Every structure is written in C-alpha cells, then in structure tokens.
Amino acid sequence: MKLKRILIGLEIHIELKTKSKMFCGCSAVHFEKIPNSQTCPVCLGLPGALPVPNFKAIESVILIGQALNCEILKESKFDRKNYFYPDLPKGYQISQYDQPFCLNGWLEYKIQGTNYRAKIRRVHLEEDTGKLVHTQVKGKSCSLIDFNRSGCPLVEIVTEPEFDSSLAAKTFLEKLQKIVRYLEVADADMEKGQMRCEPTVNLEIEDGGKNYFTPLVEIKNINSFRFVQKAIDFEVERQFKDFEEKRIEKMPGNKTTRGWSEKKLETGLQRTKEEASDYRYFPEPDIPPIFWSDKQITNFKELFKKIVLPDKLESRFISLYGLRPEQAEILCRDKETAFYFEKCVELGKIKKITSLDIVNKLINQSKKAKQFADLSPKEFIEKIGESQKLFSLNKEEISLIADRVLKENQKIQDEYRKGKTQVLGFLIGLVQKEAKGKADPRIVQKILAEKLA
C-alpha cells in the first residue's frame, strides 16, 4: 500500500474593504466594534427589508477575477443559499451559484525557483454571516451572536483540487493575499478573520494493484498560513492511517467537515459535508440579474490595466535596479514598501546613492532599518548619505587591516576553507573593530572573501 497522490483544493473567503455592507448602508468596518451596534432591518433579516447591491463590492470582485485571469461573465445573478444556523438571521445567505461574476481562471506561484499554476474554478460574491462568541454569562457557558459582520461583502475564491502539498497551498495563499492587498480591495488579515481558508483534502492510495480515494474532508477554523500547512499535513497523515486501519470498504463514504484545533494541533469531526443540492439554491427574487455591456467590460479591463501587481513590480526591480530575485520579492511583499523604495532610488541618484545601498538598509540591516521607519524618502536618503560619510578608509587601507587580522587568526582562516563560511562575519567584525568603524562593511566583506579565496 502506498500514497499515490494528495489532492488539495482551497475555498477562500476574503472580506472586501468597502465603507458599507453588501446589501445595506450599515458600516462594513466591524472589527472590535460594540456588538450589534452596526445593524439594520436588512442585515438582521427582518420581514419586508429589501437588499440593494453594493456596486463597489461588485467592482472589487471583478478586479480580483481579472488578477486571477478569469473570464468575466456578461450575465450574473445572486442566489439564495438556504441553511439554518444561529449566525444567519434570514435562514438563507445571498450568494451566487451557477452564474458568478468570474469563472475559469488561473494563478502562477513559485516554490524554490520553480513555477506552478493553479486553476481557479470561480470567483463569486456573497454576504458574510454574523459571528458566534462563545463565552460565559453569570457563570454559565453560552454562545452569543454579534451581527455587526452580518451582511458584509465577502468574495469567495474556489480553486480546483490541484495542490499536492501543504507548502504549495500555503504559498498560493500568501501570493493571493499579496495580490488583493495590491488591488486595495481588502486587507486580508487572517488573524482578524478578514481572510479565511477552508482546505479540502483527500488522498489517492494504491493498494493491491487498485487505486482508492479517501472521502473528501473540508477543514475549518484556521486563522493563519502556518496553521493551514499544519492542518493539511495532519489531515494527510490521519487519512492515510485511517485507510490503513479500515480499508476502503469500512470507511465512511460521505464528505465531512473537520475543525482545526490550535491547542491540540489536530482536526476533529464536526459534521457531514453538505452537497449543493442540500442548500436548495434558487435565484434571489429581490435582486434582478446583472448584465454587462461590452463597453462596461472594456471599462473594467482598462481600470485593471492601471494597477501594478507584485509580479510585474518584482520583474521591474530586478531588471531596472539590479536587485536579486529574493530582494525584489521581499520588497514587494508590501505595496507601500515597494513604492517607498522606488521613490528613494529616484532621490538617491542626485546624491549618487545606489539602489543596492538603499535595499541594504531596508532589508539586509533590518534591525537598523527601524530607525528609518518614520522618515520620508528624502529624509531616508539623507540618513544614508550621512552614514556613508563615516566610512573614510579607502580600499588600500582596509586591505592592510584585513591582512593583519588574517595573520593573527590563522585557525579561523582554516575553518573558513574547510567550509565553515559563517566565520566570515566574525572576521568582518575584527576588521571593523580595528578600523574603528570607518570601513564600509560591504568593502570589508569583499576584500576578506577575495583574500580567503
């Protein structure tokens, strides 16, 4: 018996950054607000209340769809997804079923220099539910409901089950988070519940010359990328052991939902997974279908063209500024940092401060870079210029000091040549000490490396 294939799909929910909720005028900013202080008849599901779609949210979903290389459907509609749960006041959720805004996309991501492509099944828009708060009142355990989140716009992104490892799933999610932040349509903070991921996992196992598939499991209650990886790894191991013990004829055939426990670092059975038919989808009668003209679709595409995404920015940093790929990737993790860097490079040309000098301060000396955190790009460049003036020794003077340091530390030289390259940092420190801080560390490193070679 052997594990032939791991099949991982992702269902990702991301709260959109709009001022108002999806179908009413209540504020969509709900984090740490007084419970139930931002509600109205629409988001509380009171009789007679009618929903009005938020166009900004729809526009945001179509931007995300384009970033994921999806097709924009000319005709879309909202549907009622019926299920009964305490945090769903209407007894149904307004979502999308067979005619979402965006279909059939893909996104490339990279692991250790190798490119992979994940297929996107759909990108659709729905309203969020309320939030259950498990607490104690007068010494008794109970669950309270906060409806501030109810009705907030939520985009759902569903991938095909093409990921074959937890690392691939985690890497994809990190890139997706970066993209929606660059689009400025969401903050996508997992710790605040603004981005939620529910991986689906099952295995293909070869046994006795036949291939078997374990029942599909959806994992909930995950609030960080690290735990996404841990939860998937646990579930892969659990399913394989379960198959080994029970074989396929004794395994439950139904799809199940399991919750991730951060304390136990394991998943636990919650309920049988619903099929689409269980939700009794039907078109939302209070919202007419939405039709896009060719001109409107062209306008969406023109709006998207104006946005610079992280991949394009990374390529520009590598080709234009001579950065290493890993440096460009770190700078472009955050849009503000990336644009701050470019502004600094532009100002640095006047004072002959190179892009490598700037990236060195922003990345390689991250602890020292904290002193620049509140500086404008102009002040940042002035600080670098001041620090460079301190390095008054030339290459010849540094070389003489390096010769003396190496002569006095023959054993460390031998360790370096045997492969213990980390001792180079110690030698740089000795040269700097003798130079009384007047030697540029980059030049010291280069000279020592040449001499040791």
* CATH assignment, 395-452: 1.10.10.410
Helix (H, G, I), strand (E, B) or coil at 442: helix
- The shares of helix, strand and coil residues in the chain, as percent rounded to the nearest 5, are 40, 25, 35
Q: Give, in order, the Cα–Cα distances in Å from 126 to each of 158, 177, 265.
A: 13, 19, 31
The residue with tokens 């995300």 is: 64
Mean pLDDT of the chain: 90
CA pair distance 176, 178, nearest whole angstrom: 5
- Give me the residues paired with residue 81 across strands: 93
CB atoms within 10 A of CB 418: 9
CA pair distance 49, 70, nearest whole angstrom: 34
**What is the pLDDT at residue 299?**
95
For the stretch 160-198, what's the b/e string if a residue is b when 16 or more beta carbons lie within 10 angstroms of its beta carbon? ebbbeebebbbbbbebbbbbbbbbebbbbebeeebbbbb
Question: Residues near 411 by Cβ (< 8 Å), separated by ≥ 6?
Answer: none
Task: Evaluate if residue 159 carries a pLDDT over 90.
Answer: yes
Domain coordinates in residue numbering, the chain: 2-294, 308-377, 395-452
Q: What is the DSSP letter of 27?
A: B
Task: Evaluate if residue 74 carries a pLDDT over 50.
Answer: yes
Q: Which of 150-164, 200-214, 241-255, 269-283 has the highest mean pLDDT?
A: 150-164
What are the tens digits of pLDDT across the range 100-112? 999 999 999 999 8
Task: Evaluate if residue 303 carries a pLDDT over 50.
Answer: yes
Q: What is the pTM of this model?
A: 0.82
**What is the pLDDT at residue 112?**
87
Q: Average of pLDDT values for 318-337?
A: 89
What are the tens digits of pLDDT across the range 394-430? 888 889 998 999 889 888 888 888 888 778 888 888 8
Task: Evaluate if residue 373 carries a pLDDT over 70.
Answer: no
Q: Give, in order, the Cα–Cα distances in Å from 171 to each of 115, 218, 269, 437.
A: 11, 19, 26, 41
What are the tens digits of pLDDT across the range 328-371? 998 998 898 899 999 999 998 888 888 888 887 787 544 444 45
